[in-house]
Amino acid sequence: MILHCAIVDDEPLALDLLESYVNKTPFLQLEGKYSSAVQAIKELPDKQIDLLFLDIQMPELNGLEFSKMVSPQTRIVFTTAFDQYAIDGYRVNALDYLLKPISYVEFLQAANKAVQWFERGKKTEEIESIYVKSDYKLVQIELKKILYIEGLKDYIKIYLEELPRPVLSLMSMKAMEELLPSIRFMRVHRSYIVQKEKIRIIDRGRIVFDKVYIPVSDSYKQSFQEFLDERS
């Protein structure tokens, strides 16, 4: 899926940074960048924009006001240096909210969230892959190959079939959990997410992948048992 996007930001450095992020993300295509909402409002109605990266604090017409004029088919990711705007952002149904300075990892997480939103809207087939940043590269991960994910402070390890080593990525477990379709993946511990259909062996309440034993913590035991009852 290719998402057509635009950027509106009155800070030249922020505008250029977001443009560079869009250009190195394979599933995003930049359709326009604007230094003010007033400029954007003249051109955006003639374009089909799926995803809009929108600064909040701008002169003449701010991002919150402008967002109410955008097509309801356009998803909005607010960008700002002022975190007090977060609540207002979600009140206008923002897809995500990024606090400046924005890292590429944060940008990519928001972009992946947009892909999921549009895939769900298609109601045809589930997403088959996601992108994560690993070793300064953007890596496509096929969901069907994921066995489990392990959280390590600010990093995660993604264990895949047929790969001897996991893919290491700088992102949180919470962000990863939000990216993965819940119909296929399940959180079983603060540090582990597993793919349901890959579970083959359970030994004394622990999920076994080869020589790795994954514990199921108390807070997830009920949902895990419900999953087992459905399969029995």
pLDDT of res. 139: 92
pLDDT of res. 1: 78
Residue extents of the structural domains in the chain: 3-122, 129-231
Specify the fold of 3-122. Rossmann fold (3.40.50)
pLDDT of res. 122: 58
pLDDT of res. 89: 54
Closest CA to 29 of 10, 3, 59: 3
Closest CA to 151 of 196, 188, 97: 188
Which of the pair, 214 or 222, is modelled with greater confidence? 214
Using DSSP's 3-state secondary structure scheme, residue 58 falls into coil
DSSP secondary structure string for all residues of 195-222 = EGGG--EEETTEEEETTEEE---HHHHH
Which of the pair, 34 or 80, is modelled with greater confidence? 34
pLDDT of res. 117: 85
Any residues with CB less than 8 A from the CB of 67 and at least 6 apart, and which?
54, 76, 78, 92, 94
Question: For strand 129-134 and strand 137-142, is the pairing parallel, antiparallel, or unpaired?
Answer: antiparallel
Q: What percent of the chain is modeled with pLDDT above 70?
A: 92
Closest CA to 15 of 55, 43, 69: 55
Where do we find the tokens 């402070």?
153
Multiple choice CATH, 129-231, 3.50.50.60, 3.30.160.100, 3.40.30.10, 2.40.50.1020:
2.40.50.1020
When mean pLDDT is compared across 23-37, 130-144, 172-186, 189-203, the lowest value belongs to: 172-186
Taking a C-beta distance cutoff of 8 angstroms, is the pair 96, 89 a contact? no
Mean pLDDT estimate for the chain: 88
pLDDT one-digit tens code per residue, 57-112:
888 888 888 888 888 788 999 998 877 666 565 566 688 889 999 999 999 999 99
Residues 32-47: what's their mean pLDDT? 88
The answer, yes or no, to whether residue 124 has pLDDT greater than 50, is no
pLDDT of res. 48: 85
Query: Which tokens is 91 given?
Result: 């009140």
pLDDT of res. 3: 94
Residue 75 DSSP one-character state: E
How many angstroms separate the CA atoms of 37 and 212, rounded? 53
pLDDT of res. 193: 97
pLDDT one-digit tens code per residue, 143-179:
999 999 999 988 999 999 989 999 999 988 988 988 8
Residues 196-212: what's their mean pLDDT? 93
The answer, yes or no, to whether residue 206 has pLDDT greater than 50, is yes
